[in-house]
Structure 1
């Protein structure tokens, strides 16, 4: 509680109210921001071949189902315009299935690519997925410890 000089009564302070008035800051020295140094080229960067491989897989496993999901709307519109009765639930479920596969394909595309620069990996990448997912789970367990 503090006293109010105008009314002579004590008033209740708010919990977030500062205890004293702010002091004027003296001129502080201007510091020049230092740009962050570029990371050393080494183990911390991803090789271009691996990056390109991941992008190709993501475009395939994510892009194709996503395009099919959006084309479901166009196809159903075309069917309806030609007099074919298409239930709304069918359009909804089909588009959700394709778009959901696109989301899963995003992760699968990144994890199923071979992370070894010299090895291109298989077409579907199931062996690479199991190997890389093992690396990820080991890293997660290591962070918990």
Structure 2
């Protein structure tokens, strides 16, 4: 690495060259390498109430699953940092082969759901060397009051 620096090749350029090589070596025949995309963002059918146990699901398709991250943010921060402590957590990533790619799934658990969560913008982010895609979660509207 020191020899590369002396010749004027910074480590970042070397890393980029290796990454590009890895991507092109994965693209063979009819297999096209595509940027990742969120394909499903699933929320409960009814608006959650404080105290409920709530799960939101995010699914994303990636042609480079070993180089793709899928995670949740709340107001732009990692969900584990949101108050109240430990009320929001991400489940482990699940993978399922789909055609030339892999479907990545990551659930967000809010337990117990709080009024703070209803005012939080949760975003599912899928990130790979080919690009990023973010989709915001929208809670179902509250049921109309019975009168």
Structure with the greater relative contact order (CA < 8 A, sep ≥ 6): 1 or 2? 2
Which structure has greater strand proportion?
2
TM-score (norm 2): 0.17
TM-score (norm 1): 0.18
